[in-house]
Structure 1
């Protein structure tokens, strides 16, 4: 059992997830507290911090201190077409909008393109797996919440324990094949709202990012399944595409195995200021179902951290430019999709 000098850990599941208690000032953490948090997330995969009182500015500052390097924070800049979109929380480009409000703080309509795009968030995924440089940590903060009776939890699945509990024959198969996964945000959007995005062909969107689906989670030294809803297809270790039926069946098997009920924790948001930190290299997550769509404001803002580990760039060339909205607008069939993504990243 790990011991911590400055925090109290309340475990949320037998294998992963923890609520952190004992911190009174989240904007002025000591180095010992930060070290304890880093050790805790390496063990548990995601951490829940209640009632932090963080603001936009201190949320960003907290993230910078947590990861030690401010340059690792991702930004929404590449999602702002010609810099014409007004951010609700200008000038904080380090904050990604994970809520349901438009630029004028009006609740988006359930039938709007952005609402359809957001339905992809209801599928288990890892943030930024569709980017050539993937994400390590995400830090999501509640700013405005609907009544708890409407649902809206955030759910997590343990992708390290998912590997541990795979049948031995499937483990041997994955180790021998060393599959490469091709990840696409257009794919998860189409899965989340297939009729709305029926004209979207993910293969014609931005180039897919390629990452090994089996890899070591370096902070803990444990094996991890890097999968989720952005995973479009599999390739063999040489980069040759696996036959579609075989690829789809294996992806479906792995995703269902990792997200079975006994491997999932559902976290209820209680109040503004609640924060969840997770490691995309160790867990999957999704937005849980809720009945308040179109009725209540749900304002969640997230900082996202570029991975700086061994697997950060996967099989992609180091320095490959990140996908932009401009790159999608001229792609046949993707104008509608691109319009939903401007300023929004999941």
Structure 2
């Protein structure tokens, strides 16, 4: 899975260059731009060339000067800002718990740890192809329910608050949403199994263990991470990753030690509806 691109010049890239990179992402799932050395402002500008960046709904994740950048970090800056440490240590697709997810994720590591660096990925279009005919029949045409409740990170303002009040805030800001359990990728035409261990909690109209069965078959419940269909993408200083957020679920690989680590993330709505059902759904503004 994935390709690397050498000698990409973010400042000098033409519209044709950007279009070619997007096609690579849709076809290969992950594109790694090697040897990048750009500022936070230049990273935001690059994100805008791929589409419309989404500002994360929780302010504690945002870069202090560029709100489009989501900061995952355990490294204190000169003014004491840290970002949020150990983000994404569970199988998920970004914004899967929102009414309108986005097509592309871009990650630009700032401080790369020497050990346990990288991210795991599973191609959920291929996961659908691996399902038995019986499982495909069970899942086709169904709708899955997703929620941020299970992996919501407690904010500094939540300390000493009753847990029920925190849960009510989660339900108010990010109420459960529904998306097709399988949808057609708007660019490649492939059917994508759109579920994750972090956010998918039910399939509407079913009371069996279908969600667990699908998660098992896709590889998301394999604690060894040794299945051939689980891809580990290592990170190096100067790498800038772009991946297909429709087709992939991912999981961060964090070190057990407190080794410094920091990365910037920008998430982008491309020109296509996330899935065909959203082409006619009215746009909603995230809280």
Residue 251 of structure 1: which of 211, 230, 245 is its match? Answer: 211
* TM-superposed deviation, 1:313: 7.0
1:312 Cα deviation from its structure 2 partner? 7.2
**Counterpart contact for 2:73–2:82, Cα < 8 Å:** no
Structure 1 or 2: more helix by fraction: 1
2:67 maps to 93
Q: What CA distance in whole angstroms lies between the structure 1 residues aligned with 2:18 and 2:232?
A: 25
Q: 1:221 to 1:187 in 2, by over 3 A?
A: same
Match of 1:303 in 2: 266
RMSD: 2.9
Deviation per CA, 1:251-275, whole angstroms, max 9, x where unpaired? Answer: 222222223621111111121x311
1:47 aligns with 2:31: yes
**What CA distance in whole angstroms lies between the structure 1 residues aligned with 2:194 and 2:245?**
9
| Distance change in 2, residues 1:315/1:203 (3 Å) | farther
Structure 1 range deviating more: 219-228 or 45-54: 45-54
Distance 2:113 2:66 in 1: 24
Q: For residue 152 of structure 1, report the CA deviation from its aligned partner.
A: 2.5
Structure-2 separation of matches of 1:251 and 1:316: 27
Q: Displacement of 1:86 after TM fit? A: 10
Please name the residue that 1:180 is paired with. Answer: 143
Corresponding residue for residue 230 of structure 2: 264
Cα–Cα, structure 1 residues 52 and 267, in superposed 2: closer, same or farther, change >3 Å? same
Distance across 2 between alignment mates of 1:39 and 1:315: 20
1:198 deviates by 8.7
The separation in 1 between residues aligned to 2:111 and 2:123, in whole angstroms, is 27
Counterpart contact for 2:121–2:251, Cα < 8 Å: yes
Cα separation, 1, equivalents of 2:36 and 2:217: 34
* Paired position in structure 1 for 2:284: 320
In the TM superposition, what is the alpha-carbon distance from 1:302 to its structure 2 partner?
A: 0.5
For residues 292 and 189 of structure 1, the distance between their equivalents in structure 2, rounded to whole angstroms, comes to: 23
**How much has 1:101 moved relative to structure 2?**
3.9
- Equivalent of 2:4 in 9, 14, 19: 19
2:228 and 2:280 map into 1 onto residues whose CA distance is: 34
SS in 1 for 2:228: helix
Deviation of 1:204 after TM superposition, in Å, equals: 6.7
Over 3 Å counting, the alpha-carbon distance change for 1:130 and 1:157 in structure 2 is same
The answer (yes or no) to whether the contact 1:210–1:314 under 8 Å persists in 2 is no
Query: Does residue 1:129 correspond to 2:89, yes or no?
Result: no
Provide closer, same or farther for how the CA distance between residues 86 and 298 of structure 1 changes in structure 2, counting only shifts above 3 A: closer
1:154–1:285 Cα contact (<8 Å) kept: yes
Distance 1:184 1:102 in 2: 31
Q: Give the structure-2-normalised TM-score.
A: 0.82
Go from structure 1 to structure 2 and tell me whether the alpha carbon gap of 1:173 and 1:187 turns closer, same or farther (over 3 Å shift). same
Answering whether residue 90 of structure 2 is matched by residue 138 of structure 1, we say no
Rounded Cα–Cα distance in structure 1 between residues aligned with 2:180 and 2:149: 19
**How far 1:250 moved relative to its partner?**
1.6
- In structure 2, the residue matched to 1:79 is 58
5+ long unaligned stretches in structure 2: 154-161
The 3 A distance-change label for structure 1 pair 187 and 44 is same
Q: 5+ unaligned residues in a row in structure 1: which ranges?
A: 1-15, 109-113, 191-196, 237-241, 324-346
Structure 1 CA distance, aligned partners of 2:12 and 2:251? 30
TM-score, normalization by structure 1: 0.69
Pick one of 223, 227, 252 that aligns with 1:287.
252
CA contact under 8 A between 1:217 and 1:224: conserved in structure 2? yes
Displacement after TM superposition at 1:164 (Å)? 1.0
